[in-house]
Amino acid sequence: MNSFRSYLVTGCAGFIGSTLVDRLLLGGHEVIGIDNFSTGQRRFLEWALKSPNFKLIETDLLDLDSLKMAFAGGEMVFHLAANADVRFGTDHPRRDLEQNTIATYNVLEAMRANGIKKIAFSSTGSVYGEAVVIPTPEDGPFPIQTSLYGASKAACEGLISAYCEGFGFQSWIFRFVSILGERYTHGHIFDFYQKLMKDPTQLEVLGNGKQRKSYLYVQDCIDAILVATQKAQDKVNIFNLGVDGYCEVNNSIGWISKELGVAPELKYTGGERGWIGDNPFIFLDTQKINSLGWKPKVSIEEGVIKTVEYLRANEWVFEAR
């Protein structure tokens, strides 16, 4: 882990951010967490806030002056704060630009102001658009963006890489598939669960249900991030994170329904894509991260079931959004 005592985590109250905070604290590190609580949840930080090694700073990444102050004393940044809403990007095109691209620029500038030069970043498999090579490797063909979300994350990657070249930064860029598990608060399982709570007899499915998607369990994701930041020491280290396989949306619906003990009639909206910009086939080549000795421990099916179990035990997340 680059042997630092003090880590900065943006988006520290989010799904992945709060899980990383807990893991860093368990590892004996000091953590400064930053969140604006626009989508983050205070309850995700209940355990962390009991630790003397955790400091929470409530601020917005768009406030550069405040961010420069917040970063004082940090040694490496895990930049996980983002607008992670890929589906509704066209409803508010400025949001990805501000909360992803401009926020990341501000993070880089706040680092520069504080002499911090190491950054790990949560990118996305969406930067591959509709990949022409599947499973998609990190150095596959120059992609054409198909979503404002993917475009903004690709823009962040470019900024980070340019800071590595121009200002001597070092970076770890992680292109995730969708992440599942405890503290999961948005995505298809969330939506299906919510719909089935209202009416367990039927379920509207966007598209034809045959979209092939890959998912990764959140603790496996954190393991991969910690392994890569420890072992990979290029100037710019880019890793796909995912499992060696995929499922159909229909498979996922089957697992969710079984776990909930329901048998809804499925009503497909039709078409290959669930929405404009939906990618009908996501499957990342993870040989590069595997070569560092990391393998996921939890399968897609197990991850889906763990997520449903979490939602059943924490229905407050449906109200909290």
DSSP state for residue 271 in the 8-state scheme: S
Binding mask 101-130 for a second copy (x = CB under 8 A): xx--x--xx------------------xx-
* 139 HSE (CA, 13 A, CB side): 4
d(CA 213, CA 316): 27
Which residue from 114, 147, 252, 286 is in contact with a second copy, where contact means CB under 8 A? 147
Smallest distance, a second copy to C-beta of residue 286, A: 16
Cis? peptide before 141, omega within 30° of 0: no
Smallest distance, a second copy to C-beta of residue 139, A: 4
DSSP state for residue 292 in the 8-state scheme: T
3-class SS of residue 139: coil
DSSP state for residue 300 in the 8-state scheme: H
Which residue from 57, 62, 69, 97 is in contact with a second copy, where contact means CB under 8 A? 97
Smallest distance, a second copy to C-beta of residue 192, A: 24
* Binding flag, residue 88, a second copy (CB under 8 A): no
d(CA 213, CA 218): 16
* Binding flag, residue 139, a second copy (CB under 8 A): yes
DSSP state for residue 85 in the 8-state scheme: -
Contact window for a second copy (CB under 8 A) among 31-39, 46-54, 132-140, 222-230:
132-140
Cβ closest to a second copy, residue 163 vs residue 217 = 163
3-class SS of residue 6: strand
- Choose among 233, 235, 241: nearest CA to 161: 235
Which residue from 1, 26, 49, 276 is in contact with a second copy, where contact means CB under 8 A? 276
Which residue from 20, 34, 84, 151 is in contact with a second copy, where contact means CB under 8 A? 151
Cβ closest to a second copy, residue 85 vs residue 301 = 85
* 124 HSE (CA, 13 A, CB side): 27
d(CA 136, CA 150): 15
Contact window for a second copy (CB under 8 A) among 51-59, 134-142, 178-186, 198-206:
134-142
- Choose among 116, 104, 83, 74: nearest CA to 173: 104
Q: Give the interface size with a second copy as a residue count (CB under 8 A).
A: 42
Cβ closest to a second copy, residue 146 vs residue 250 = 146
Where on the chain is the footprint of a second copy (CB under 8 A)? 89-90, 93-94, 97, 101-102, 105, 108-109, 128-129, 132, 138-148, 150-152, 154-155, 157-159, 161-163, 165-167, 236, 238, 276-277
